Amino acid sequence: MSIQLLTQHMTFDTAHFDADAENRANAGLTLLQRWTESEGNATWLLFEVNDPAKAKSWLTKAGSLGHAPSATHFLRTA
């Protein structure tokens, strides 16, 4: 059973996201899909999670740096 991480960003900085690629890879995250809301400014990202503990640590670090997503959801395929 695979685990994904769905994140919502009310503001999204593409340059910062691109610069963080190595950190995401080290956290075992692989971007699967990116969406923008058709009405609104939110961006949603879906990641494949290889190591949930590393992914949670990455989220904690992003929060401490002020770059955390507005919402996060760890999901398991049914």
For 39-55, give the DSSP string.
SSS-EEEEEEES-HHHH
Whole-structure pTM value: 0.90
Q: What is the pLDDT of residues 24-38, one digit of tens each?
A: 999 999 999 999 999
Q: Give the total number of structural domains in the chain.
A: 1
Helices assigned H by DSSP within 1-78: 14-19, 21-26, 52-64
Structure tokens at 10: 């009310």
Q: Residue 3 corresponds to which tokens in the numbers above?
A: 């685990």
Q: Percentage of the chain surpassing pLDDT 70?
A: 100
Q: How does residue 58 score in pLDDT terms, banded at 50, 70 and 90? A: very high
Q: What is the CATH number of the domain that holds 8?
A: 3.30.70.260
Q: Which domain holds residue 38?
A: 3-76
pLDDT at 68: 84
In degrees and rounded to multiples of 5, residue 4 shows phi and psi of -120, 160
Considering only residues 62 and 55, tell me which one the structure prediction assigns the higher pLDDT: 55
